[in-house]
Amino acid sequence: MTENKGTIHVIDDEPIIHEVLSQLLTSEGYDVELSSSGEEALEKHSSQFFDVTLLDLLMPGLDGIEVLKGIRKVDPQAIVIIITAYASVESAISAMKMGAYDYIQKPFKHEELLIIIARALEHKSLRDENIRLKDELSRRYGFDNLIGQSQPMQKIFDLIRATAPTRSTILIQGESGTGKELVARAIHQNSERRHFPFVVVNSGSLPPDLLESHLFGHVKGAFTGAVSQKSGLFETADRGSIFFDEISSVGLETQAKLLRVMQDKEFMRLGGTKTIRVDARIIAATNADLEELIGRKAFRQDLFYRLNVIKIELPPLRERKDDLPLLVNHFIDIYSRENKKEIEGISDDVLEILEGYDWPGNVRELENLIERAIVLSKSKLITRNTLPPFLLNRRPESGDIPAAEAGEQGFKDQIQDYQKKVILNALRRAKGVQKKAARSLGLKPTTLNEMIKRLKIDVESLF
């Protein structure tokens, strides 16, 4: 007896085909299951698993295409080979479009059928292996939704693991799009607090007064428009975590109040007299250099010390390019599912282009780029023609700064010059539309606008 090479499900209404195929396939070492109608076949698929299914398209009763649909519904990964009469190749092709693996025309040589089956099984084992590897990768290199195999990211995972269970305040520092919010969520998820709220404070988008009433709540009549009393985000975050999305954008006065809450763990609603106790863990993120802000008296030093108990510094993507392949695959998974496309990966030359780029917008920029490529992609592989033109037209060394220029300037000036160049290029490409330029860089429009002001970029000079 030969070893079992897999189970083949034959769906055909002709008894003679059943007889011939079951003899042929059994002698080749396959297990065979026979069905005479679509109804019978679907019934079996709902409870059994088959390695390959041979499906005759022309059967009385349930139409072959309907059977294919039904099979793919219960087992989206099923490998179905269509058997078709010479006259109906067109319906075989439409079956292929619906996810059939291959088709074979009647009458066929036995040899021909065996080759198609062998190829299908090989395809299946490769695919299963791929899925297994991906699972293993995400178990080894993932932390909640955070991906990274690079040394710096592995260190970040260790830090999260070590600090999550504590009550300590955490300051997360990193450029825009490096994953600060994702880290904050991972900390919350890996602490006892995960059963309680994770509250995000988008401090940058609110004027100071409004921010304070959001944070601390207010009593009726505390200010014009306070028609009823309202609890604040701190109360919502009780026993959970409160995440300050960009702590540097909190005004000095509110900083003072924040410091008090951190020290006393209690506060009053705006206009209120009752003290409210809360137990909320504070996690703050910033993309600014807080120490520099302290120097300019734009940030309170005492608050900084309070926040900076544990610092997590997220490295920019350009310093951990060995994470690119994993991140690319991760986003391909997400966005091909979302767009219902079967995309397996990227071509080697595309990966090379991605590796040669500096990613000023970090992971967010990469994520946007992959999403765009998936939407545009017409094949199973992401190729060059789905990349934005500016990436294709870059000369590989254009990221380098000429040595003479570099030698004469300090580190910070060089970085600033470089940032200016990147932003100017993006603005030029976006024809001056800041929102568009921000998107292409993977920055929030407010962040870009802030950088344009800080770097004193003369937008008018572009045109």
Ligand X SMILES: Nc1ncnc2c1ncn2[C@@H]1O[C@H](COP(=O)(O)OP(=O)(O)OP(=O)(O)O)[C@@H](O)[C@H]1O
Q: Give residues in contact with Mg ion (CB under 5 A).
A: 181
Q: Which residue of the chain is nearest ligand X when measured via CB? A: 179
Distance CA 442, CA 357 (A): 14
Partner in contact with 177, chosen from Mg ion, ligand X, none, beta carbon below 5 to 8 Å by kind: ligand X
Q: Which does 148 bind (CB under 5 to 8 A by kind): Mg ion, ligand X, none?
A: ligand X
Q: Which residues pair with 277 in a beta bridge?
A: 266
Q: How far is the CB of 265 from ligand X (least distance, A)?
A: 26
Binding ligand X (rule: CB under 6 A), the pick from 70, 174, 315, 360 is 174
Q: By three-state DSSP, how is residue 346 classified?
A: strand
Cα 383 to Cα 75: distance, rounded to the nearest angstrom:
30
Taking a C-beta distance cutoff of 8 angstroms, is the pair 285, 184 a contact? Answer: yes
* Minimum gap (Å) between residue 245 Cβ and Mg ion: 5
Return the H-helix or E-strand segment holding 244.
strand 241-244
Is residue 148 close enough to count as binding ligand X by CB under 6 A?
A: yes
CB-nearer residue toward ligand X: 147 or 387: 147
- DSSP single-letter state for residue 230: B
Query: Given the complex with Mg ion, which of 176 and 213 has the nearer CB atom?
Result: 176
Q: Do the bridges between strand 142-143 and strand 146-147 make them parallel or antiparallel, or are there none, so unpaired? A: antiparallel
Nearer to ligand X, 63 or 144 (CB): 144
Q: Does 178 bind ligand X (CB under 6 A)?
A: yes
Nearer to ligand X, 99 or 152 (CB): 152
Question: Under rule CB under 6 A, which residues in 251-280 are in contact with ligand X?
Answer: none
117 class by beta-carbon count within 10 Å (0-12 exposed, 13-18 middle, 19+ buried): buried
- Quick note: the x/- pattern for ligand X over 78-107, rule CB under 6 A, is ------------------------------
Which of 427, 456, 443 has the alpha carbon at shortest distance from 175?
Answer: 443
Between 23 and 145, CB nearer to ligand X: 145
For residue 287, the partner it binds in ligand X, Mg ion, none, with Cβ less than 5 to 8 A by kind, is ligand X
Q: Are 95 and 68 in contact (CB under 8 A)?
A: yes
Number of helices (H) and strands (E), helices first, in the chain?
20, 16
Give the CA radius of gyration of the chain.
Answer: 30
8-state DSSP, 192 = G
CA distance 135 to 133: 5
Is there binding between residue 173 and ligand X (CB under 6 A)? no
146 binds, among ligand X, Mg ion, none (CB under 5 to 8 A by kind): ligand X
Rounded least distance, CB 172 to Mg ion, Å: 9
* Minimum separation from the CB atom of position 179 to Mg ion (A): 8
* C-beta separation of 301 from 336 below 8 A: no
Q: In sequence order, which residues have a C-beta less than 8 Å from that of residue 319 and are 6 or more positions away?
A: 152
Q: What angle do CA 128, 132, 134 make, to 5 degrees?
A: 115
231 secondary structure, DSSP code: -
Give the residue among 457, 391, 388 at the shortest CA–CA distance from 424.
Answer: 457
**Cβ 342 to ligand X, closest distance in Å?**
22
Q: State which of positions 282-321 bind ligand X (CB under 6 A).
A: 287
Residue 169 · residue 281 · CB < 8 Å: yes
137 touches ligand X by CB under 6 A: no
**Total residues in contact with ligand X, by rule CB under 6 A:** 20
446 by Cβ neighbours in 10 Å (0-12 / 13-18 / 19+) ranks as: middle
Considering the complex, state which of residue 366 and residue 374 has its C-beta at the smaller distance from Mg ion. 366
364 contacts which partner out of Mg ion, ligand X, none, CB within 5 to 8 A by kind?
Answer: ligand X
| 214 contributes a contact to ligand X by CB under 6 A | no
Which of 17, 147, 237, 258 forms a contact with ligand X (CB under 6 A)? 147
Provide the minimum distance between the beta carbon of 311 and ligand X in the complex, in angstroms, as a whole number.
Answer: 15
How near is the Cβ of 153 to Mg ion at its closest, in Å?
Answer: 17
Residue closer to ligand X (CB basis): 235 or 367: 367
Identity of the residue, 102 or 181, whose beta carbon is nearer to Mg ion in the bound complex? 181
Q: Nearer to ligand X by C-beta: 148 or 217?
A: 148
Q: Which does 450 bind (CB under 5 to 8 A by kind): ligand X, Mg ion, none?
A: none
DSSP 253-275: HHHHHHHHHHHHSEEE-BT--SE
Measured in residues, the chain has a length of 463
Q: Tell me which residues in 366-385 interact with ligand X (CB under 6 A).
A: 367
The footprint of ligand X (CB under 6 A) covers 145-148, 174, 176-182, 287, 327, 330, 363-364, 367, 444, 447
